[in-house]
């Protein structure tokens, strides 16, 4: 176990390094004093990049052995560092080492340690958690295990009856492969490996928003995220929904910051997270589509719309190799196996909608998180943050409508489909609202235009 944990630390150090490369490639250079927070955003960016590029490499025929994963991370890091080193000869560094700081005094200083405590307890639980939920082993881990056993993606195996929803995207299996390649197959550290993305989320959100919003609001939101029981439980279940939610929420937060500041590095960062969301689950494509349309509306201007379209298209195209591969090898899923989606009785919409609302208002699942998000939208709408409130509400409703559409058109047993999935499918919209909440409530009076990593002049 100790050896495996050390191997996992090394592997995730590589992902962190890759994430640093992603930040540098996007043009973000966090100040040294901000490193604790920047680790969070770098880790999630690294996981998205490794997951997305790793998926493409699997389709290209690689087996993603441990040394290939190390090389992949090194290549991503170099891709971010080398252009910067070359350009430094000609231009002075844009980023100083002293970050802008909002001084926090009094009781709000207790909130980060409380968040860290909640996350540490969850991390301990992830470390002892076996792989036991049926979705985890029948959809995701089986693919990673088959790559290890068969030396890469095997169309014969994936199109056999052994794999459930075999055409689901590959980011989660690639992240699980990291644990398997470095710790051996089988190993019980897969839930911890997958859960690290959620453990990094609070720090990532702080890194993206800390210089834009009031610390007390931001710290309250991340504490509420860390304590939400259903997020803890689902993170420990080694299913893809929390991973999707983290990528999507950060894509939205970075995208919104781009709308505010016009800094293209935030748009590129948003694109990396969006690609991660698209490559994690099928509904990620719908969610990101809604997000891109909403961002285009609020961003305005032909040049910005073109930038956004380019990034959105690039994020979407990362899924194309896998889509082509699955079609070529006739790899399907439960929906296609049951005859494909088609509109069912209309009464499914209110029935599924009512189940979604029941889940959303259940405080034993979310504690204060959903109520906080709703209150933030209402308060922001009544103030000067009306545009942000409208954006948050429209994207949330759009995502929930997408989920509702999936239930309306499901060829599977409707009641069974809803009962077994509604708790998971609403996670991404809820985490999106949580990520937007500090922006809705906590605008700092000054310095709203400065992006991540830029110091105050």
Partner 1 sequence: MLNLPAHPGTTGYALLAIGAVAGLLLLLFGWRPVGATVGDDGPLTLIVTGTLVFCLAGAPFTLWRVLADIRETAPVTPEHAEYVGAETKLIDGELVRRIERLIPREDSYGVGVSPDAYVEVRESLALWLGYELVPRRQARRPQEAEWVVTWGATPAELGLRTRPPRLVGRNRLSDREPVYLARTRS
Choice between 31 and 367, CB closer to partner 1 = 367
Smallest distance, partner 1 to C-beta of residue 339, A: 15
Among 373, 394, 30, 392, which Cα is nearest to 204's? 30
Q: Count CB atoms within 10 A of the CB of residue 420.
A: 13
Q: Which residue has the tokens 């834009």?
A: 212
Q: Is 160 in the site for partner 1 (CB under 8 A)?
A: yes
* Residue 8 or 17 with smaller CB distance to partner 1: 8
The pair of three-digit structure tokens given for residue 191, joined into one six-digit string? 């839930």
Residue given tokens 């050390």 in the structure block: 6
Binding mask 426-445 toward partner 1 (x if CB under 8 A, else -) reads ---------------x----
CA 222, CA 112: separation in Å to the nearest integer? 8
Cβ proximity to partner 1, 157 vs 414, nearer residue: 157
- For residue 177, CA distances in Å to 40, 409, 416 come to 21, 33, 31
By the rule CB under 8 A, 186 interacts with partner 1: yes
Residue 393 structure tokens: 């509400």
Q: How far is the CB of 417 from partner 1 (least distance, A)?
A: 14
Listed residue (429, 169, 194) closest to 278, CA to CA? 169
Return the range that interacts with partner 1 (CB under 8 A); candidates 121-129, 253-261, 301-309, 347-355. 121-129
5 lies in the site for partner 1, by CB under 8 A:
no
Q: Does 447 bind partner 1 (CB under 8 A)?
A: no
**Joined tokens for residue 219:** 């710290």
Residue 121 near partner 1 by CB under 8 A: yes
Contact by Cβ (8 Å): 41, 453: no
Binds partner 1 (CB under 8 A): choice among 96, 188, 349, 387:
188
User: Is residue 129 involved in binding partner 1 (CB under 8 A)?
Assistant: yes
- Which has the closest alpha carbon to 166: 50, 335, 47? 335
Of 40-48, 73-81, 88-96, 213-221: span binding partner 1 (CB under 8 A): 213-221
Give SS3 for 170.
coil
* Member of 375, 390, 412, 448 binding partner 1 (CB under 8 A): 375
**Per-residue contact string for residues 225-264; x = within reach of partner 1 by CB under 8 A:** --x-x--xx--xx---------------------------
How many residues belong to the chain?
457
Q: Is residue 136 near partner 1 by the rule CB under 8 A?
A: yes
- Cβ proximity to partner 1: between 235 and 403 the closer is 235
d(CA 8, CA 193): 8
Give the footprint of partner 1 on residues 381-400 (CB under 8 A): none
Among the candidate windows 38-46, 104-112, 306-314, 406-414, which touches partner 1 by CB under 8 A? 104-112
Please provide the DSSP assignment of 75-106 as one string: HHHHHHHHHHHHHHTTS--S--SS-------S
What is the 3-state composition of the chain as percent helix, strand, coil, each rounded to the nearest 5? Answer: 75, 0, 25
Q: How far is CA 402 from CA 99, 172, 439, in A?
A: 40, 22, 24
Smallest distance, partner 1 to C-beta of residue 217, A: 7
Q: Judged by CB under 8 A, how many residues of this single chain contact partner 1?
A: 60
Q: Shortest distance, CB of residue 18 to partner 1, whole angstroms?
A: 28
Query: Which backbone phi and psi does 194 adopt, to 5 degrees?
Result: -70, -35
The pattern of x and - marking residues 137 through 156 that bind partner 1 according to CB under 8 A reads xx--xx--xx--xx---x-x
Q: How far is the CB of 261 from partner 1 (least distance, A)?
A: 23
Q: Is 132 exposed, middle or buried (0-12, 13-18, 19+ CB in 10 A)?
A: exposed
Q: Contact positions toward partner 1, by CB under 8 A? A: 1, 106-108, 114, 117-118, 121-122, 124-125, 128-134, 136-138, 141-142, 145-146, 149-150, 154, 156-157, 160-164, 186-188, 214, 216-217, 220-221, 223-224, 227, 229, 232-233, 236-237, 363, 367-368, 371-372, 375-376, 379, 441
């Amino acid at each position: 176990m100790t050896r495996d944990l050390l191997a996992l630390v090394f592997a995730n150090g590589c992902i962190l390094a890759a994430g640093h490369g992603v930040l540098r490639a996007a043009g973000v250079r966090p100040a040294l004093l901000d490193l604790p927070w920047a680790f969070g955003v770098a880790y999630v960016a690294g996981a998205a990049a490794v997951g997305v590029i790793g998926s493409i490499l699997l389709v290209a025929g690689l087996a993603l052995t441990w040394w290939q994963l190390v090389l992949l991370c090194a290549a991503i890091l170099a891709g971010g560092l080398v252009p910067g080193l070359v350009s430094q000869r000609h231009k002075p560094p844009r980023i100083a080492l002293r970050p802008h700081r909002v001084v926090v005094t009094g009781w709000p200083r207790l909130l980060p340690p409380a968040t860290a405590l909640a996350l540490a307890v969850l991390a301990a639980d992830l470390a002892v958690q076996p792989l036991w939920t049926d979705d985890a082993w029948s959809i995701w881990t089986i693919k990673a295990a088959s790559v290890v056993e068969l030396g890469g993606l095997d169309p014969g195996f994936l199109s056999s009856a052994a794999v459930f929803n075999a055409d689901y995207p590959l980011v989660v299996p690639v992240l699980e492969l990291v644990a398997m390649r470095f710790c051996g197959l089988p190993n019980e550290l897969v839930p911890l490996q997958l859960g690290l993305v959620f453990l990094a989320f609070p720090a990532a959100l702080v890194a993206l928003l800390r210089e834009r919003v009031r610390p007390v609001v931001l710290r309250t939101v991340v504490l509420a995220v860390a304590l939400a029981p259903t997020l803890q439980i689902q993170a420990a279940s080694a299913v893809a929904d929390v991973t999707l939610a983290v990528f999507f929420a950060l894509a939205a937060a970075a995208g919104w910051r781009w709308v505010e500041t016009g800094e293209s590095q935030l748009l590129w960062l948003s694109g990396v997270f969006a690609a991660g969301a698209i490559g994690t689950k099928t509904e990620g494509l719908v969610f990101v589509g809604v997000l891109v349309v909403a961002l285009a509306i609020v961003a305005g201007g032909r040049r910005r719309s073109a930038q956004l379209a380019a990034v959105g298209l690039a994020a979407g195209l990362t899924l194309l190799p896998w889509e082509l591969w699955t079609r070529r090898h006739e790899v399907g899923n439960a929906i296609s196996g049951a005859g494909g989606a088609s509109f069912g009785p209309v009464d499914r919409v209110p029935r599924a909608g009512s189940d979604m609302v029941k889940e959303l208002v259940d405080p034993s699942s979310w504690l204060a998180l959903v109520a906080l998000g709703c209150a933030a939208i209402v308060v922001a709408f009544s103030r000067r943050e009306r545009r942000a409130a409208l954006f948050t509400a429209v994207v949330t409703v759009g995502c929930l409508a997408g989920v509702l559409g999936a239930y309306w058109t499901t060829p599977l047993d409707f009641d069974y489909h809803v009962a077994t999935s509604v708790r998971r499918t609403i996670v991404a919209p809820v985490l999106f609202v949580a990520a937007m909440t500090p922006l809705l409530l906590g605008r700092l009076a000054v310095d709203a235009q400065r992006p991540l990593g830029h110091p105050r002049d």
